[in-house]
Amino acid sequence: MRYELYYWPEIQGRGEFVRLALEDAHADYVDVARQPQGMTAMLRLMQSRAQRRPPFAPPFLRAGKTVIAQTANILQFLGPRLGLAPKGEADRLWVHQLQLTIADWLVEAHDTHHPIAGGLYYEDQKREAKRRAEDFRTNRMPKFLDYFGTALARNRGARVTYADLSLFQMICGLRYAFPRAMARLERPRPWVAAHHARIAARPGIRDYLASPRRIAFNEQGIFRHYPELDG
Amino acid sequence: MRYELYYWPEIQGRGEFVRLALEDAHADYVDVARQPQGMTAMLRLMQSRAQRRPPFAPPFLRAGKTVIAQTANILQFLGPRLGLAPKGEADRLWVHQLQLTIADWLVEAHDTHHPIAGGLYYEDQKREAKRRAEDFRTNRMPKFLDYFGTALARNRGARVTYADLSLFQMICGLRYAFPRAMARLERPRPWVAAHHARIAARPGIRDYLASPRRIAFNEQGIFRHYPELDG
């Protein structure tokens, strides 16, 4: 099965959580919008009246005739197929629960630079962004980090799942966007660097991160480095 | 199986999406935190070190020994058991995709009154709330409404699922929080009232809405009526 991933071609964004799972498993996939005419194909599919089950937004995945949207939903579908999800129902619900909590965290990370409207420029909501980012660094980052630290500690020895890859991506993104805050928060939380290193050393991930397929972080994506938001 | 739902006892909030599914199916459940000593039980479970798979936040559901958190995850678990989800994998992924899109919409509805920080009072972010609410009413509400209008139109005749109940709840909440905006938006979208009426007429929902179990909307919940945010 060749999977088709549809996502904006110039950012990591939400698509990156899917890319990491596909790359970790050395899956056969095409990153459609990064191919010639790919953006046209993506927009055509989104707008097609023949699409009985349209996505609200990218990313979405085509697997044969099935089109699946929503990052966590795509990962839930891919997980068992890529060896990145456990077998039992309760175990799968737990991994999905972690993934949905990461999704919540990601929205909050995004909204630090766009607290008023995604359709406005950062410059038009910079003052509000400073207030929101301060709350995020002070209250939300430690709360989410401690939750995942606890979850990992209580499930030591569990096999790596797509949620572990997504947690790795959160760490990468937060280190990029908030280097000072993350340095401070990681000091008393050595599990963060350990988790990052563990995932980065997996062959599929290592190869991917060194390849041109890994788009660099930038200021069009979800994680943006604006020093004034880093305290 | 008697389900135990854990959620804040004084608001509809995210717990309401689960309550609607349980009530529609006349399921046997306890709304734990609304019972005597229930808040203590909820907080104890959240903080228990013996909980190998802790929730990040309410709502969560206990079903036998399994504790499941994240609203959409709970509904995905309950759906097939309550006759509110289709059978096939692709069909279930579609319903879950809709639910996750509702979850995104709900965060945006919440953030209209708390664009800066959930931990601050509304009064401390009122100016920012006005800007965010304006964007929500003008850009986001019509975009989400049209997406669900299209999804319903392209899947006419499909059996009612938990996502349909959740869409009903979104309509209820938006009508409460933004009565002027919703009146204007509903005029060219008669499907909204039709969907609301269709779900409200289901025996389990009709009984529930008339019962004291349905908490009234209020200004502690996710949907809040602040006239200055309604344009």
Peptide bond into A59 cis (omega under 30): yes
Closest partner CB to B135 (pick from A55, A100, A117)? A117
d(CA A190, CA A77): 32
Residue to substitute from A56, A66, A95, A147, interface B, most B β-carbons within 10 A: A56
User: Region A64-76: what's the mean pLDDT?
Assistant: 97
**Residue linked to tokens 């996710």:** B222
Those residues whose C-beta lies under 8 Å from the C-beta of residue A179, and which sit 6 or more positions away, are: A225, A230
State yes or no: pLDDT of B42 exceeds 90.
Answer: yes
- pLDDT for position A110: 98
Length in residues, chain A = 231
- pLDDT for position A168: 99
pTM over 0.95: yes
A:130-189 residues touching chain B, CB 8 A cutoff: 131-132, 135, 139, 144, 147, 150-151, 154-155
State yes or no: pLDDT of A36 exceeds 90.
Answer: yes
Cβ distance A155 to B111 less than 8 Å, yes or no, reads no
* pLDDT, averaged across chain B: 98
**Residue linked to tokens 């980012």:** A133
Predicted confidence band at B1 (pLDDT cuts at 50, 70, 90)? Answer: confident
d(CA A119, CA A102): 23
State yes or no: pLDDT of A89 exceeds 90.
Answer: yes
Q: Which among B196, B98, B194 has a CA at the least distance from the CA of A52?
A: B98
Residue A66: enclosing H or E segment and its boundaries? strand A66-69
Residue A69: φ, ψ to 5°: -115, 175
User: Region B4-11: what's the mean pLDDT?
Assistant: 98
Residue B67: enclosing H or E segment and its boundaries? strand B66-69
- pLDDT for position A203: 98
Bridge partners for A4 per DSSP = A30, A62
d(CA A58, CA A44): 12
Whether the CA torsion B226, B228, B229, B231 is positive or negative: it is positive
> For the segment B109-134, what is each residue's pLDDT rounded down to a tens digit?
999 999 999 999 999 999 999 999 99
Predicted confidence band at A211 (pLDDT cuts at 50, 70, 90)? Answer: very high
A81 CA to centre of own chain: 19
Predicted confidence band at A64 (pLDDT cuts at 50, 70, 90)? Answer: very high
- pLDDT for position A1: 86
- pLDDT for position A26: 98
Domains along chain A?
3-81 (3.40.30.10), 89-229 (1.20.1050.10)
What is this model's ipTM?
0.98
Cβ distance B132 to A155 less than 8 Å, yes or no, reads no
- pLDDT for position B155: 97
Closest partner CB to A128 (pick from B53, B115, B150)? B115
Predicted confidence band at B104 (pLDDT cuts at 50, 70, 90)? Answer: very high
User: Region B54-76: what's the mean pLDDT?
Assistant: 98
Determine the residue of chain B that is closest to A130 in CA distance.
B116
